[in-house]
């Protein structure tokens, strides 16, 4: 009688066959961002150990947008410290490119120089305020407060204003804080409705006063001033103060400490986020969100062990706020010309980390186009077919996220771009990699046998997606599978069938091109028996 010989079955083929022994172990949406301050095995299932070059919005995680060069071409190679926007009462809108050495105004085809120079450096960051139809700015107190004269297109002194580091507009005045190298706790204000006069002997509603008292025993220098709803918010290194308006022309404000022992020691990390402020404080090691009158909320707890490690130059830190996505981003330059952008999505309470090359500012601002300057006109005035007001097309204003860079170029975020815009040092652009690292999956006192990993994703621009796994808590990674989807704008599954014996298991997704949105994942396992050695 013939013997029946069974054909050996490879282990990796087993999960493809229906098997009662396999069971789902983890199933989650990837929508909670990254957490680095607790053990990866203790994280919630929708949380990541690393979400690099990714955004968490609308219940999904996706590869961040790229950028394209903003045109017209750069007028010089000075670092772009700010891109400011103002729409004046006559309906004309201006977009201003501001560097440590000067200012340019955008017209329809070129950057037009604003006459006048500045004497700052790239560390003298620029703050602007639109007050009474004027664009007022400070360059960290390196020069006296300035304004733009749009009639002559010149940089002019703001009357007799001092050298304050920080400015804001409040009740028909310009208010300055921290007079550079003279009195770093002084607050000064212009006349009521008279922003060019700061001498109280000329206008009794102008003046200044020091904030000497502090709830901190040590030095408590000024680090910022902001105009909130009916209050002034004053940031110091170790405290937060509020200023309220008084009906006294000679003493128009009353200031009092609101938050002791918590302050801001990275001045340009502080930005307005719609209903309050957000800032980073190195001394306490976290990021705060603050609504005037309430206690600051430490929103940086999930990643504060990583964010504090990245800092090598506190003075170079800056921040921005995206009101559409409701995201606050703090940018921390590194020594290798890259900048880490830590983004907090307030709707999802989720953190992610980005890498940008050589940026020095980020703005969510209006861009005005359509203006034609006198120099662009052809012919004589006698030959004009229309009136002067009809020569220029209507000004079109679009909102955009703009990155100023140290080589003088400007990059504009572009949802259709899958790389970052060309840079002087990177003429072909900067290719960035999205990396999503899962939590660590464990079963106490028992090994698990991973049988299948399922990733649900969608792509709108084709690009390879790689799935890797780790057997040693993320120290090394093993290639699992790489796919390049041929169907766009439709949910797909990336499925890896693999028998993996491990106690602490993690996976990660990589993508360097294309646009991928990760919706969720599943991990299926077999429960394995005890091994011969009892482990």
> What is the model's pTM?
0.88
Residue 115 CB neighbours (<10 A): 13
Distance CA 345, CA 351 (A): 7
Length of the chain: 535
Which 3-state string (H, E, C) describes 88-150?
CCCCCEEEEEECCCCEEEECCCCEEEEECCCCCCCCCCCEEEEECCEEEEECCCCCCCEEEEC
pLDDT beyond 60 at 13: no
Mean pLDDT for the stretch of residues 497-523: 92
| Residue 1 confidence (pLDDT) | 42
What one-character DSSP code corresponds to residue 426?
B
Q: Which of 39, 44, 16 is nearest to 29 (CA)?
A: 44
User: Which residue is listed with tokens 């000497």?
Assistant: 212
Helix (H, G, I), strand (E, B), or coil: what is residue 76? coil
Least confident of 165-169, 294-298, 374-378, 445-449: 374-378
| Residue 18 confidence (pLDDT) | 46
| Residue 5 confidence (pLDDT) | 44
Least confident of 62-76, 212-226, 328-342: 212-226
Q: Which of 140, 129, 213 is nearest to 175 (CA)?
A: 129
Distance CA 138, CA 164 (A): 7
Confidence of residue 4 (pLDDT cuts 50, 70, 90): very low
**Cα three-residue angle 172-173-178, rounded to 5 degrees:** 155
Task: List the beta strands (DSSP E) in 15-76.
Answer: 23-29, 48-52, 54-57, 60-63, 66-69
In Å, how far are 137, 420, 423 from 77, measured between CA atoms?
21, 19, 11
pLDDT beyond 80 at 396: no
Percentage helix, strand, coil, to 5, in the chain? Answer: 5, 45, 45
Q: Which of 305, 295, 289 is nearest to 259 (CA)?
A: 295
Which tens digit of pLDDT belongs to each residue from 45-93? Answer: 999 999 999 999 988 999 999 999 999 999 999 999 999 999 999 989 9
| Residue 306 confidence (pLDDT) | 92
For the chain, the first-to-last Cα distance in angstroms comes to: 44
Which tens digit of pLDDT belongs to each residue from 406-457? Answer: 999 999 999 999 999 999 999 999 999 999 999 999 876 566 789 999 999 9
User: Which residue is listed with tokens 């340019």?
Assistant: 104
The 10 Å CB-count burial string (b at 16+, else e) for 487-501 is eeeeebebbbbbbbe
Q: State the greatest distance between any 2 C-alpha atoms of the chain, in Å, as a whole number.
A: 120
Average pLDDT over all residues of the chain: 88
Which 3-state string (H, E, C) describes 321-335?
EECCCCEEEEEEECC
User: What fold is seen in the domain 11-63+433-527?
Assistant: Jelly Rolls (2.60.120)
Q: Are 426 and 457 in contact (CB under 8 A)?
A: no
Mean pLDDT for the stretch of residues 313-319: 90
Least confident of 140-149, 214-223, 248-257, 383-392: 383-392
Mean pLDDT for the stretch of residues 231-253: 94
User: Which residue is listed with tokens 């002194």?
Assistant: 157
Which tens digit of pLDDT belongs to each residue from 342-393? Answer: 999 999 999 999 999 999 999 998 777 644 545 545 555 455 555 554 454 4
Q: Where are the domains of the chain?
A: 11-63+433-527
Which tens digit of pLDDT belongs to each residue from 471-483? Answer: 988 899 999 999 9
**Cα three-residue angle 458-460-464, rounded to 5 degrees:** 70
Confidence of residue 293 (pLDDT cuts 50, 70, 90): confident
């Amino acid at each position: 009688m013939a013997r029946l010989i069974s054909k050996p079955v490879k282990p990796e083929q087993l999960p493809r066959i229906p098997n009662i022994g396999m069971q789902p172990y983890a199933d989650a949406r990837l929508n909670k961002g990254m957490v680095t301050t607790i053990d990866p095995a203790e994280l919630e299932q929708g949380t990541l150990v690393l979400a690099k070059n990714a955004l968490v919005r609308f219940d999904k995680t996706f590869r961040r947008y790229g950028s394209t060069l903003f045109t017209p071409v750069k007028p010089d190679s000075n670092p772009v410290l700010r891109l400011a926007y103002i729409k004046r009462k006559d309906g004309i809108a201006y977009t201003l490119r501001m560097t440590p050495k000067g200012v340019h105004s955008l017209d329809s085809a070129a950057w037009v120089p604003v006459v006048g120079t500045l004497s700052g450096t790239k560390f003298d960051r620029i703050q602007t305020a639109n007050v009474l139809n004027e664009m007022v700015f400070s360059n960290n107190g390196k020069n006296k407060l300035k304004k733009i004269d749009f009639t002559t297109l010149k940089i002019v002194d703001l009357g007799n204003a001092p050298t304050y580091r920080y400015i804001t507009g409040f009740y028909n005045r310009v208010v300055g804080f921290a007079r550079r190298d003279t009195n770093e706790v002084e607050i000064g204000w212009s006349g009521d409705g008279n922003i060019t006069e700061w001498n109280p002997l000329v206008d009794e509603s102008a003046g200044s006063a020091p904030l000497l008292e502090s709830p901190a025993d040590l030095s408590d220098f000024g680090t910022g001033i902001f105009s909130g709803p009916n209050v002034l918010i004053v940031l110091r290194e170790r405290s937060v103060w509020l200023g309220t308006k008084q009906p006294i022309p000679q003493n128009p404000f009353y200031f009092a400490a609101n938050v002791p022992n918590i302050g801001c020691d990275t001045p340009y990390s502080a930005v307005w986020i719609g209903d309050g402020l957000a800032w980073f404080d190195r001394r306490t090691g976290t990021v705060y969100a603050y609504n005037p009158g309430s206690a600051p909320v430490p929103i940086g707890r999930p990643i504060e062990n990583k964010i504090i490690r990245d800092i090598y130059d506190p003075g170079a830190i800056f921040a921005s706020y995206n009101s559409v996505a409701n995201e606050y981003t703090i940018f921390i330059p590194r020594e290798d010309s890259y900048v880490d952008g830590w983004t907090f999505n307030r709707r999802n309470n989720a953190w992610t980390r980005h890498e940008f090359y050589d940026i020095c500012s980020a703005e969510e601002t209006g861009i005005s186009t359509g203006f034609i300057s006198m120099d662009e006109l052809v012919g004589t005035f006698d030959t004009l077919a229309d009136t002067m007001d009809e020569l220029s097309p209507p000004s079109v204003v679009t909102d955009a996220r703009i990155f100023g860079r140290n080589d003088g170029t400007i990059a504009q975020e572009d949802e259709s771009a899958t790389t970052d815009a060309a840079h002087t040092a990177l003429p072909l652009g900067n290719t960035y990699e999205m990396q999503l690292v899962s939590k660590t999956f464990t079963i106490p006192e028992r090994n698990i046998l991973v049988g299948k990993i399922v990733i649900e994703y969608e792509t709108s621009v084709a690009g390879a997606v790689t799935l890797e796994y780790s057997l040693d808590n993320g120290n090394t990674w093993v290639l699992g599978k790489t796919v390049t989807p041929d169907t766009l704008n439709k949910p797909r599954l990336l499925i890896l069938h693999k028998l993996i014996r491990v106690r602490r298991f993690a996976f990660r997704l990589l993508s360097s091109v294309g646009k991928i949105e990760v919706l969720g994942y599943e991990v299926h396992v077999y429960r394995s028996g005890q091994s011969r050695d009892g482990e």
